[in-house]
């Protein structure tokens, strides 16, 4: 697959400078031709006035010689006129008999001869060269037609000088306007560049932005609104972090990212894990409040890491107990196995923490696990809701945690059959569980597979020393354990 090269970035200030320069160039060019046309018309009017006097004067001096047919006198008169009027390039005389005489550096063409007027008034011939002509009349008798060609060198000099002046004016205008536009566009593009850099920072998760706002226009309004947006995003991120300490992170992310997370109540199969401290009442009565809170928080921190690693989440803390839910909101096909691994890892972590009671006995927790359908929904008052799971599956898991001894993970035989390989079931007996119509065979679970035991030891080591990430290699460990 070929990689497309990124498009060339052209700053706004250069675009505006080129655009204004181009516009000024076009405007000056159009203005130049307009001025040139006006000046040319004015020059032609002046030439016509001068040509009328000169052609009339030459015609008057040729009347007698043309009437007498004296070509010598005619030639002398014409040559004298050429010598005294340097702007005349040539003269053409058509006699009444149709003969044509040319003087000076001109060539007589058919088009010019056809254009000769029959009027005794001086007229400009409709030709590209500058010709003025009239019919010579003496005593109401036509003695010939006179045509005089005048030089256009003067106009060429005028046009050249005018072009140089306009060119200098155009260059100065383009330079000044380009510098001015470059400066103005730079001032306008600087806020836009700041917005672009700030947007990149926001996209990277940095919301601590406060762009300087100057002026009172659309750009300053945009900068001000961007600052407001960044503050709102920072506040939103702060709320996300705060709520993430109390609610499930996935639910928080769904609410903040999409705003339309499905929070409707529904029934779903879940695995519920309870951890309850053994003899908590006597421990709390014989220990200071600060020591009780410190010890619970220490254990709950490790429990939270283990539960998160295996894909569950802490639904709530109930005094000295922890309730964890698996398969909600993150769906996992092997949620029963994950919950069992989490319970066994938490029991192992308690042993390694090694905390003692005042009487010297180790601090231990009882663990209860149950799998079944539960109701997931918003429970509580209109102004104080809790998104949690309720039902027999939760109640049975709570009852299980009160049956076993410290460090034991208790569950029913039916739940045990869902765990997969690597575990042993040690029966406690068939018991009647409050809220359940039929009796249940209950027992505690232990690991019988070396690979599963290694996985638990690895997770416990991480929980005691590192922050576990639920997106880490839990799936790999579970697959290995199942094998």
Q: Residue 258 has which token pair?
A: 């999409």
Cα 377-378-382 angle, rounded to 5 deg: 160
Query: Is-contact 89 106, C-beta < 8 A?
Result: yes
Least confident of 1-15, 134-148, 337-351, 355-369: 1-15
| Neighbour-count burial for 146-163, b at 16+ CB within 10 Å, e otherwise | bbbbbbbeeeeeeeeeee
* Rounded-to-integer distance, Cα 148 and Cα 464, Å: 115
CATH architecture of the domain 12-156 equals: 2-Layer Sandwich (3.30)
Among the residues of 207-257, which ranges form H helices?
218-244, 249-257
pLDDT at 227: 81
For the stretch 115-144, pLDDT in tens is 888 888 989 888 888 889 989 888 888 888
Position 212 pLDDT exceeds 60? yes
Return the pLDDT at 6: 60
Same fold, 12-156 and 262-482: no
The reported pLDDT for the residue numbered 127 is 87
What pLDDT is recorded for position 241? 64
pLDDT at 478: 42
What is each CA distance from 234 to 205, 227, 238, 241, 474, in whole angstroms? Answer: 9, 10, 6, 11, 32
The owner of tokens 């799998």 is: 371
- How does residue 272 score in pLDDT terms, banded at 50, 70 and 90? very high
Q: Is the pLDDT of residue 152 over 80?
A: yes
DSSP per position, 296-345: HHHHHHHHHHHHHHTT-EEEEEETTEEEEEESSSS--TTHHHHHHHHHHH
Over residues 414-427, mean pLDDT:
92
15 within 8 A of 184, measured Cβ to Cβ: no
pLDDT 10s digits, 86-103: 888 889 988 888 888 888
Span between the terminal Cα atoms of the chain, in Å: 40
CATH fit for domain 262-482, picks 3.30.300.30, 3.30.2130.30, 3.30.70.1230, 1.10.150.20? 3.30.70.1230
Split at pLDDT 50, 70, 90, the class of 201 is confident
Give the closest residue to 221 by CA, choosing from 179, 229, 451, 206. Answer: 229
Output the six-digit token pair for 322: 């922890």
Tell me, what's the pLDDT at 375?
86
- The pLDDT assigned to 476 comes to 38
Whole-number Cα distances in Å, 303 to 279, 320, 474? 19, 12, 15
Across 8-12, 186-190, 256-260, least confident range: 256-260
Query: Can you tell me the distance from the alpha carbon of 289 to that of 74, in angstroms, rounded to the nearest whole number?
Result: 140
**What's the rounded Cα separation, in Å, for the pair 84 and 78?**
10
Residue-level pLDDT at 260: 46
| Strand pairing report for 365-381 and 313-318 | unpaired
Q: Please determine, for residue 246, whether its predicted confidence score (pLDDT) is greater than 60.
A: no
Q: Which of 64, 72, 118, 76 is nearest to 94 (CA)?
A: 118
Give residue-wise pLDDT tens across range 14-58: 777 788 778 888 888 888 889 889 988 998 889 889 889 998 998
The residues, any chain, with a CB within 8 Å of residue 185's CB and separated by 6 or more, are 12, 13, 15, 16, 17
In the chain, what are the domain boundaries? 12-156, 206-245, 262-482
Query: Which comes out higher in pLDDT, residue 370 or 16?
Result: 370
pLDDT tens digits along 55-86: 899 888 888 888 888 888 888 888 888 888 88
In this predicted structure, the answer to whether residue 340 has a pLDDT above a threshold of 90 is yes
| Whether the predicted pLDDT of 347 surpasses 70 | yes
- Spatial separation of the C-alpha atoms in residues 423 and 481, rounded to whole Å: 10
- Look at 139-148, 236-245, 333-342, 419-428 and tell me which has the smallest mean pLDDT: 236-245
User: Is the separation of the CB atoms in 333 and 243 below 8 Å?
Assistant: no
115-129, 219-233, 269-283: which has the minimum mean pLDDT? 219-233
């Amino acid at each position: 697959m070929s990689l497309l090269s990124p498009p060339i970035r052209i700053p706004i200030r250069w675009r505006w400078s080129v655009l204004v320069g181009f516009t000024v160039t076009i405007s000056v060019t159009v203005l130049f031709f307009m001025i040139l046309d006006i000046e040319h018309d004015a020059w032609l009017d002046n030439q016509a006035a001068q040509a009328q006097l000169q052609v009339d004067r030459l015609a008057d001096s040729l009347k007698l010689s043309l009437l007498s047919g004296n070509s010598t006198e005619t030639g002398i008169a014409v040559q004298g006129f050429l010598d005294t009027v340097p702007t005349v390039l040539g003269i053409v005389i058509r006699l009444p008999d149709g003969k044509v005489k040319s003087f000076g550096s001109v060539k007589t063409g058919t088009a010019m001869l056809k254009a000769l007027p029959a009027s005794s008034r001086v007229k400009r011939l409709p030709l590209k060269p500058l010709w003025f002509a009239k019919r010579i009349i003496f005593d109401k008798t036509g003695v010939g037609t006179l045509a005089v060609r005048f030089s256009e060198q003067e106009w060429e000099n005028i046009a050249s000088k005018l072009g140089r002046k306009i060119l200098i004016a155009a260059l100065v205008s383009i330079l000044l306007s380009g510098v001015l536009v470059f400066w103005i566009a730079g001032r306008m593009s600087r806020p836009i560049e700041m917005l672009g850099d700030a947007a990149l920072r926001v996209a990277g998760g940095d919301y601590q932005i406060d762009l300087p706002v100057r002026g009172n226009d659309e750009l300053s309004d945009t900068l001000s609104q961007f600052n407001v947006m960044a503050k709102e995003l920072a506040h939103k991120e702060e709320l996300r972090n705060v709520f993430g300490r109390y609610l499930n992170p996935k639910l928080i992310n769904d609410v903040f990212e999409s705003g339309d997370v499905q929070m409707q109540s529904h029934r779903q199969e879940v695995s519920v894990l309870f951890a309850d401290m053994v003899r908590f009442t006597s421990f709390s009565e014989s220990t200071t409040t600060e020591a009780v809170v410190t010890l619970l928080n220490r254990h709950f921190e490790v429990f939270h890491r283990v539960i998160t690693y295996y894909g569950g989440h802490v639904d709530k803390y109930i005094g000295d107990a922890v309730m964890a839910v698996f398969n909600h909101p993150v769906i996992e096909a092997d949620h029963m196995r994950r919950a069992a691994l989490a319970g066994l890892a938490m029991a192992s972590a308690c042993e390694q923490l090694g905390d003692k009671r005042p009487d010297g006995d180790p601090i231990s927790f009882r663990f209860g696990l149950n799998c079944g359908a539960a109701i997931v929904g918003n429970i509580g008052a209109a102004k104080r809701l809790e998104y949690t799971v309720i039902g027999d599956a939760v109640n049975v898991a709570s009852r299980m945690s009160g049956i076993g001894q410290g460090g034991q993970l208790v569950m029913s035989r039916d739940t045990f059959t869902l765990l997969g390989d690597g575990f042993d079931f040690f029966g406690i007996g068939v018991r009647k569980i409050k809220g359940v119509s039929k009796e249940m065979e209950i027992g505690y679970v232990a690991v019988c597979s070396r690979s599963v035991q290694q996985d638990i030891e690895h997770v416990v080591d991480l929980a005691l020393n590192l922050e576990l990430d639920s997106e880490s290699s839990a799936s790999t460990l579970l697959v290995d354990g199942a094998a």
